[in-house]
Structure 1
């Protein structure tokens, strides 16, 4: 039964929710995908039907409860069918980032012992075939099914088959054995909330990825508790699915929250078309990583620089007055004075309404920033124009979020909000936060020691994050415990706060603070190629490549000004004394970033030995 008490405890299963939605809303649109310029809809009944066909296809292949499949694909409806279809028969699903090179795909597929791979296209299929042919291969993998078969017709028969063939196998089983349908229903009925249904491999910033085993309860709780805290229940849910579905954030909101709310998910054509697709759809819910929110802000600011002087004047004055109103709203939780509400209404009619429409967020009632910390100035920009973006805190092992900012509550600077209903927390002596909730995972696959290191017998999860308490019951993340820098003078410094301050600048794309065991802090800085390039062009500075742009003395001086401004906000011991501009952009393929675009700190000394030599001389 879908009531608050059951949902807040996660007393549901994903296939059970899908079946319920198909029964209640069979004719309503559940999924939309753009095909040759036209948005094509699929109903809840069709979603459920094709997930069942996929489940029967897996049964025809001989998959059994407890087996695993991997999905390496961009976001497409077939991702959903394979995900929910596998879960219907108790098969666990492992998502793999489309950007992962074949060695990383091989590691995950071997580690989880997957028997079937679902691929999106030729590129992803080639990675699986490379993983099978090289190194230790993929001994457990038996079949590959590809969604988009373009370019694969001349491949060896059966390697891969099409996803349509997998559906046909399901149809074949049903034709051969009419009882298969009844057995599938019985399988769905036999699922329980504490069954493991998905594995999410951590990004591996400090070591090899670990397979976090999550249950139906874990992810249902995380999605519902978030929606309840954000007052989304009962409101129209329509989203744009564009972040990798193997990441728990997109999986939680595009798959699980979709099942809970019964809304509609629209698949973006690609990451490059997200802005266009968002304007077309005008979603009511939007999840963005920091870079998406930054690009939306920068894009509008660049546009205003090229507009008429009158428009620029209106923009400057509207944003200035909007900042005053935003500050009052932050202090009180909402605008209480009639004069303030009337003034905001005026600027909404004159300016903010058009800005919201331009971004495609004019219908949105809930906006979320996930994946990493974001610049406070970026958040302020959206709050000024009436598009408040909420932040939260959590981790994969806690089912996603455990804390989230809630509407109508005074804003606490740097906070991730109070704990969601059902989540308990406590602090260790060093400020590490421990969490216990229905979202806490079962453990790491094939890693009893790793599980014991973070999860005790009473269900308390050691997060590895150092936090501060603000506003009485809200938490603000200081940094990862393993990321804390201890200088040669014995000072403990959290680098992320300094790095985030650096990234407040539109000219800085990434900043890495170094200084472990050193006398002072240094910085490895990646410029933002687009904004610094525009800045250079406005000054008629000549460059041809990223490397040549970083070599310009004027660019070095520009970043020095940014460093000086940031240093003025911190104690002297936290100042960046010397920095180096990286000559290339950090890249996942080169092992410098994880699939979630986080810096692999464990490789800094090896990857940036030359830069560290420049900073420290030895």
Structure 2
């Protein structure tokens, strides 16, 4: 292992070798299985990665080859990515909830030769499309449950691969060290497919140097300590998970913790009590919704106490934002609230020990952001892009602001280009899109700056502020600037609204399509003895319409007159990634939505009272069906009236 000791830590597998050498007994990764946390120290991780890497080599995997992982966050899937990189290959993580047709696009486009699947369900998805994947040579499964009856020669278990690796090492004792030493910072480590808000996703080529440079900048600025516990629960295909769960954890020597499954994340989060947490807006919105629902279900006394101290906390946070003096009474009430409400709430959320929490991937509504900060959660915003290795700017302690995303780290530059587009230059900028040279040229300026596609500005303090996607920013017919994400985030602050899509560019007023939150609205209906059978049935209830219209009126009271929402349609289904309405990271695909829901948009602005809609519905197994329905258009009324009603 002398060669590993002397090698520079310029690739992710070399960082793993360093950690195994310098901190062999420190926990590197944990995962929960059947209610029990199993810990692997850094030496264990190195042993498994080396054995699996040599198993890949024994099966012909070499430099330039691609390996995909498909499943929930599991230790072996992270090891498989590192193993492929140790052999000079590239990792191509996939979204675990992708339907078969989506898998085909990525696996075929990326020329993937090996897929490491978590379980039988994921194996079956790959087998169903393998005839369309001529480069695919091997499917490896992590969980053996249900796999004993499979006799396909393409299938091997993870354990088999490690066994093959041990046998390969006996015949080639220095192969791993030699391949590891050949790795360079400029080698591609990850093919990260973009979310695809405007069409087919593209494979961004990120090098080891990209990932490590960004991670080192983050660790140098943020309060990260060796041995910190991080919860690794975000989709492995999201580049943000690759940065935090692989790259940054290796750089910082932090411990990744994989929950038992998506349905146990909240319980495992509370049990673990991590030192830090990264979550996209949907996570924070869901947490807030759950809190508000629990408060509404509590006894009258508990509800009154919660509401009082919540209002105290938000009032204090607003005064802090404005740099105004906080009255003694508010300070005293807040101290009492820390023992009565804020501390217990953080404990329930699993955030009592979190020194910092981050939100990124999409804009988070300022009301939601303020709520968590007011309750003592050190929530801060980050901004980035897959093509910039995720992190471009973030807020440091003491500079959290709901209206900006912070400063860029040393070595990274940001400028504002044509039409207010944010452009980036720095060590995290990618090497290009895989097999898409024209798209690469379109994304980079002539002088090498990355065009992010986001509209923003730099405020007098040097903080970057993001408005919306540049192509989505428009104006109402009267010239009022219109950013749909701003309206949508306001609407989603309501616990009864899960998703919203706002319209208004070149139109006389703002209108919105709203998808109710099935869980929250369902509980509300049950408390009132309102029967329902399905999402379609619940969303069509007149009482539910009145509930949502009331919520919109409340939100209108916080908006400028011109931007108040005047007309609303309640959707009869949730926006679904399987139906291509949103991406796997829950970003709205506006172009597709505008085309699919054209009758609704026409009804909004043609004074219609209803819209006839026929659409395709995609099931989890890829089957499609037609849904024909009539959606009612509800008038909210003029803004002044909405303000009076809210008052």
TM over 0.5: yes
Number of the residue aligned with 2:113? 115
Within the candidate set 95, 98, 109, 2:96 is matched to 98
Distance 1:512 1:79 in 2: 35
Distance 2:500 2:427 in 1: 36
Asked if residue 156 in structure 1 is aligned to residue 151 in structure 2, the reply is yes
Asked if residue 267 in structure 1 is aligned to residue 258 in structure 2, the reply is yes
Number of the residue aligned with 1:609? 598
Number of the residue aligned with 2:371? 381
| CA-CA distance at 1:90 after TM superposition | 1.0
| CA-CA distance at 1:568 after TM superposition | 4.4
| CA-CA distance at 1:55 after TM superposition | 1.1
Within the candidate set 4, 16, 20, 1:22 is matched to 20
- Contact 1:239/1:266 (CA < 8 Å) preserved in 2? yes
Superposed CA deviations along residues 133-190 of structure 1, whole A, max 9, x for unmatched, are 3xxx101111111111222222233232111111122112112333xxx232122222
Q: Could you say if the C-alpha distance between residues 20 and 513 of structure 1 is closer, same or farther in structure 2, counting changes exceeding 3 Å?
A: same
Query: Secondary structure at the residue paired with 1:533?
Result: helix
Within the candidate set 226, 231, 237, 1:240 is matched to 231
- Contact 2:497/2:514 (CA < 8 Å) preserved in 1? yes
| CA-CA distance at 1:328 after TM superposition | 4.1
| CA-CA distance at 1:490 after TM superposition | 7.1
- Contact 2:285/2:492 (CA < 8 Å) preserved in 1? no
Q: Normalising by structure 2, what TM-score?
A: 0.87
Distance 1:332 1:493 in 2: 29
Count of aligned pairs between the two proteins: 600
Number of the residue aligned with 2:37? 39
Query: Secondary structure at the residue paired with 1:95?
Result: coil
Query: Secondary structure at the residue paired with 1:49?
Result: helix
Asked if residue 420 in structure 1 is aligned to residue 409 in structure 2, the reply is yes
Number of the residue aligned with 2:566? 577
Asked if residue 66 in structure 1 is aligned to residue 64 in structure 2, the reply is yes
- Contact 2:419/2:470 (CA < 8 Å) preserved in 1? no
Number of the residue aligned with 1:249? 240
Distance 1:537 1:337 in 2: 42
| Gaps in structure 2 of 5+ consecutive residues | 1-7, 609-647
Greater mean alpha carbon deviation, residues 304-313 or residues 555-564: 304-313
Distance 1:301 1:424 in 2: 40
Within the candidate set 217, 227, 232, 1:225 is matched to 217
Q: Could you say if the C-alpha distance between residues 47 and 404 of structure 1 is closer, same or farther in structure 2, counting changes exceeding 3 Å?
A: same
| CA-CA distance at 1:331 after TM superposition | 4.4
Distance 2:361 2:344 in 1: 28
Number of the residue aligned with 1:7? none
Asked if residue 398 in structure 1 is aligned to residue 388 in structure 2, the reply is yes
Number of the residue aligned with 2:426? 437
Q: How does 1:580-599 map to 2 (within 5 A)?
A: 580-599=569-588
| CA-CA distance at 1:65 after TM superposition | 1.1
| CA-CA distance at 1:556 after TM superposition | 1.7
Q: Could you say if the C-alpha distance between residues 486 and 297 of structure 1 is closer, same or farther in structure 2, counting changes exceeding 3 Å?
A: closer
| CA-CA distance at 1:337 after TM superposition | 10
- Contact 2:285/2:493 (CA < 8 Å) preserved in 1? no
Q: Normalising by structure 1, what TM-score?
A: 0.91
Greater mean alpha carbon deviation, residues 424-433 or residues 299-308: 299-308
Distance 1:590 1:490 in 2: 34
Q: How does 1:172-571 map to 2 (within 5 A)?
A: 172-178=167-173, 182-232=174-224, 234=225, 236-331=227-322, 344-409=334-399, 411-485=400-474, 493-515=482-504, 518-571=507-560
- Contact 1:434/1:460 (CA < 8 Å) preserved in 2? yes
Distance 2:348 2:460 in 1: 35
| CA-CA distance at 1:289 after TM superposition | 2.0
Asked if residue 168 in structure 1 is aligned to residue 166 in structure 2, the reply is no
Distance 1:130 1:490 in 2: 52
Distance 2:22 2:577 in 1: 43
Query: Secondary structure at the residue paired with 2:92?
Result: strand
Number of the residue aligned with 2:76? 78
Superposed CA deviations along residues 594-618 of structure 1, whole A, max 9, x for unmatched, are 1111222221233223423432459
- Contact 1:412/1:470 (CA < 8 Å) preserved in 2? no
| Gaps in structure 1 of 5+ consecutive residues | 1-9
Distance 1:311 1:59 in 2: 61
| CA-CA distance at 1:11 after TM superposition | 7.3
Q: How does 1:128-147 map to 2 (within 5 A)?
A: 128-133=126-131, 137-147=132-142
Q: Could you say if the C-alpha distance between residues 413 and 85 of structure 1 is closer, same or farther in structure 2, counting changes exceeding 3 Å?
A: closer
Greater mean alpha carbon deviation, residues 500-509 or residues 398-407: 500-509
| CA-CA distance at 1:489 after TM superposition | 6.9
Superposed CA deviations along residues 231-259 of structure 1, whole A, max 9, x for unmatched, are 32x36410111111111111211111211
Q: Could you say if the C-alpha distance between residues 485 and 424 of structure 1 is closer, same or farther in structure 2, counting changes exceeding 3 Å?
A: same
Superposed CA deviations along residues 174-225 of structure 1, whole A, max 9, x for unmatched, are 12333xxx23212222222121110100111111110000011211222232
If asked which structure has higher relative contact order (CA below 8 Å, sep 6+), I would say 1
Distance 1:482 1:52 in 2: 46
Greater mean alpha carbon deviation, residues 251-260 or residues 551-560: 551-560
- Contact 1:379/1:388 (CA < 8 Å) preserved in 2? no
Distance 2:141 2:545 in 1: 47
- Contact 1:580/1:614 (CA < 8 Å) preserved in 2? no
| CA-CA distance at 1:324 after TM superposition | 3.6
Query: Secondary structure at the residue paired with 1:98?
Result: coil
Distance 1:420 1:160 in 2: 45
